[in-house]
Amino acid sequence: MRVRWRPEWTTLLGTMPDNILSRQIGISKTALGRRRRELGLPVFSSPRVLQCGWCGKDVTRAYDHSGISCDECKRVNRSATAKTYRRKTLARHRAQMRIWRAANKERIKQKHAAWLAANPDRVAKIRERSNTRVRLQRARAKERAIAERVEAEVRAERNRLGMEHYGWARNAE
Determine the Cα–Cα distance for residues 90 and 85; give it in Å rounded to an integer: 8
Residues 107 and 124 in one domain: no
Q: Is residue 63 one of the residues assigned to a domain?
A: yes
Residues 113 and 129 in one domain: no
Question: Could you count the other beta carbons within 10 Å of the beta carbon of residue 25?
Answer: 17
The boundaries of the domain holding residue 155 are: 119-173
Which ranges in the chain belong to alpha helices (H)? 7-12, 18-25, 29-39, 71-75, 80-118, 120-165
Q: What's the mean pLDDT when you consider all of the chain? A: 77
Q: Is residue 151 one of the residues assigned to a domain?
A: yes
* pTM for the whole structure: 0.30
Q: Is residue 83 one of the residues assigned to a domain?
A: no
Q: Is residue 35 one of the residues assigned to a domain?
A: yes
Tens of pLDDT, residue by residue over 35-65, are 888 888 888 776 666 667 667 677 766 454 5
- Under the banding of pLDDT at 50, 70 and 90, the label for residue 99 is confident
Residues 129 and 172 in one domain: yes
Q: Is residue 161 one of the residues assigned to a domain?
A: yes
Determine the Cα–Cα distance for residues 142 and 109; give it in Å rounded to an integer: 36
Mean of pLDDT values over 134-156: 91
Domain count within the chain:
4
Question: Could you count the other beta carbons within 10 Å of the beta carbon of residue 133?
Answer: 10
Residues 41 and 52 in one domain: no
The pLDDT value recorded for residue 173 is: 45
Residues 124 and 173 in one domain: yes
Tens of pLDDT, residue by residue over 162-173, are 766 666 555 544
